[in-house]
Chain A
Amino acid sequence: MSRRLLTYLCIDTSGSMNGEPIVAVNAGLQALLGSLRANPYALDSVHLSITAFDSEIKEVLPMTAIADVMLPEITCPKSGATLLGAALEHICEQTQRDVRKSTPTEKGDWKPILVILTDGKPTDTLAYSEVIPRLRACDFATIVACAAGPKADPSQLKRLTDHVVSLDTMDAASFSKFFQWVSETFSKDSQSRGATSSVELPPPPAELNVVL
Chain B
Amino acid sequence: MARIVTLKASDGSTVQFVDEVKAQGGVKDVMFSPDGGYVVAFFRDKANPAARERLLQITGPYREKMFNQDGGDYLRNLYCWPTAVVEHEGRLGVVVPFYRSCFFFEYGSRNNDMLGIRKKEKVGKWFATPGHRARFLDPRELGDWMRHLKICLMLARAVRRMHMAGLSHSDLGYNNCLIDPTTGQACLIDIDGLVVPGRHPPAVIGTPDFIAPEVVKTSHLPKEDPQRILPSRTTDLHALPVLIYMYLLYRHPLRGDKTHDVNDSQRDEELMMGANALFVEHPQDRSNRIKAANAKASELPWRDTDRLPYTITGPYLADLFLRSFVDGLHHPGRRPTADEWETALVKTVDLLQPCANPNCEQKWYPFDNTRQPKCPFCGTAHRGKLPVLNLYSSHAKGKFMPDNHRIMVYDGQSLFRWHESRFIFPNEKLSADDARRVGYFVQHQGNWYLVNERLSGMRDVRAGQDIPVGEKVLLDEGAQILLSRENGGRLLVVQMVGN
Contacts and interface: CB of A to CB of B under 8 A. Distances in A.
B206 A40 contact: no
Interface string A177-212: 000000010001111111110000011000000000
Given A195-B230, A203-B44, A189 B208 contact: yes
Given A193-B206, A194-B203, A1 B24 contact: no
Contact of A193 (B115, B125, B176, B204): B204
B265 A110 contact: yes
A184 B125 CA distance: 17
Contacts of A38: 115-117, 120
A106 B294 CA distance: 9
A103 B259 contact: yes
Interface string B182-216: 00000000100100000001111111100100000
B261 interface: yes
B132 interface: yes
Interface in A38-92: 38, 40-41, 43-44, 67
Interface string B116-132: 11001001011001011
Contact of A67 (B135, B262, B291): B135
A105 B259 CA distance: 6
B182 to A, nearest CB: 17
B266 interface: yes
A26 B427 CA distance: 54
A124 to B, nearest CB: 32
Interface stretch (B140-148, B167-175, B411-419, B485-493): B167-175
Given A105-B257, A107-B257, A192 B262 contact: no
A150 interface: no
A71 B193 CA distance: 40
B101 to A, nearest CB: 19
B165 interface: no
Interface in A3-52: 3, 34, 37-38, 40-41, 43-44
A109 B262 CA distance: 11
A36 to B, nearest CB: 10
A121 interface: no
Interface in B287-330: 291, 294-296
Contact of B265 (A40, A102, A191, A196): A102
A104 interface: yes
Contacts of B112: none
Contacts of B68: none
B235 to A, nearest CB: 12
A113 to B, nearest CB: 13
Contacts of B262: 101-104, 108
A141 B269 CA distance: 14
Interface centre among B208, B223, B257 (most CB of A within 10 A): B208
A194 B27 contact: yes
B115 A107 contact: no
A141 B265 CA distance: 10
B268 interface: yes
A1 B295 contact: yes
A43 B115 contact: yes
A103 to B, nearest CB: 7
Interface string A110-144: 11000000000000000000000000000001000
B206 to A, nearest CB: 7
B400 interface: no
Given A104-B259, A192-B193, A109 B115 contact: no
A1 B296 contact: yes
A202 B259 CA distance: 29
Interface in B353-398: none
Given A38-B120, A41-B125, A43-B115, A3 B205 contact: no
Contacts of A184: 24
Interface centre among A37, A195, A196 (most CB of B within 10 A): A195
B294 A43 contact: no
A57 B261 CA distance: 35
A101 B193 CA distance: 38
A122 B217 CA distance: 44
B202 A109 contact: no
A192 B223 contact: no
A195 B205 contact: yes
A107 B230 contact: no
A192 B204 contact: yes
B99 interface: no
A194 B170 CA distance: 11
A190 B201 CA distance: 22
Given A43-B136, A195-B205, 12 more contacts: A38-B120, A44-B132, A67-B136, A106-B291, A110-B266, A111-B266, A141-B266, A192-B171, A192-B204, A193-B204, A193-B205, A202-B24
26 contacts: A1-B294, A1-B295, A1-B296, A3-B265, A38-B115, A40-B129, A40-B132, A43-B136, A44-B132, A102-B268, A103-B259, A105-B259, A106-B257, A107-B257, A110-B266, A189-B208, A192-B171, A192-B175, A192-B190, A192-B206, A193-B208, A193-B211, A194-B205, A195-B202, A202-B24, A203-B44
- Closest 10 A/B residue pairs (Cβ): A192-B26, A191-B26, A40-B125, A192-B204, A40-B126, A102-B262, A37-B115, A1-B294, A38-B117, A193-B205
